[in-house]
Structure 1
Amino acid sequence: MKKLLATVAALATMSTMAMAERYVMITHTQGTDPFWPVVEKGGRDAAAAIGADFEYNFDPSGDMSGMAKLIEAAAASNPDGIIVSLPDADALGGAIQAAVDAGVPVITMNSGLESSAAVGALMHVGQPERLAGQKAGARAKAEGVTNGLCLNQEAWNTALVRQMRRLFLRFWWRPQHDRRV
């Protein structure tokens, strides 16, 4: 009987030790942007470096409600952390805050610095969109640019819209020039 109890205790200890941390990354790609596979690889490499499991998810439709559902599903699976892009805080904030409220640490990345703290994230990894727009506008003006065209491949990405508005607002922006396709 003592041998059986010792074996069960040893197996229980080993199974706990063998359980790796698990992190879930969710981004707003539609699967066609060459930027995101590089980000995914970085996440996989970082997880491998610490012996953690890594899952990468995105909604191929690009729909923010679909992305919110992915965040909710990830939180329900009780990972050790969620890393998420935040292109639209209004659409994703509730799901992110619910994950945080459930005790899942969340870090935002890429888009959404200005909204990250408000949705409960621990931190944000990325550039400040407004400052990036201001700096790009200042450089364009310093180089003598008098007209500008901003192409946004993600018109629903409110962080990019803010960045572009900041770029043009200071130097060229006129409300009648706001054309969203």
Structure 2
Amino acid sequence: MVFAFTGFGAAVAEAGLDGAMPGLSQQASLLTGVAYLGLLAYPLFTGGRTHEPRSPWLRGALAVLLLLVGVTFLTLMEGDLDETWSLFEHLLTPLAVLADWLFAGRNQAAVRWWHPLTWVAFPLAYLLYFLAADVGLYGGFLDPHDSDFPLTVLGFLGAVVAAGYLLYGAAKLKAAVTTTPQGPPPYPQPPGYPPR
């Protein structure tokens, strides 16, 4: 949450709100910061009975979104991390969200096989915004007027689904490794019998 808000705040400080908001990196950072703020406050809304929502859908969707942001920026866009906003938005926040999924969260075992197919929701929402607002970012590799644009979009969506299934597999593996088999319950002992 802190990394996400730091990256977003630094981007807004540099480019202004109007200049920063069209970018997927900034929108993803803002969404992640708000979502993790909500997850932090979640126990308050449940009276402390539960610490996380039952479903890991939101955390998984944010993880694949941030992986898309970071990997695309560092590979296809050949971006650098010299600026504070870039370091936080393209490296530190994606790594923090990935670490949360792999190590910190407790509800990943509840991930369903179909969740990775729906984790494309945030990238698709951004794509619709990108097309409607005629954002004009990302150079030549994401140009709606290019004949390869549909293939590029399908490639990105396929990569998001593949990343989602890697996260799904990691969650199921973690659940299998951390679940210890329970033996049968102990036989009841007669009163006065020494405890085992």
- Tell me if both proteins adopt one fold, taking TM over 0.5 as the criterion: no
Name which structure has the greater RCO, CA cutoff 8 Å, separation 6+: 2
Shorter-chain TM range is: under 0.3
User: Normalized per residue, which structure has more strand?
Assistant: 1
The alignment's TM-score, normalised by the length of structure 2, stands at 0.26
The alignment's TM-score, normalised by the length of structure 1, stands at 0.28
User: Normalized per residue, which structure has more helix?
Assistant: 2
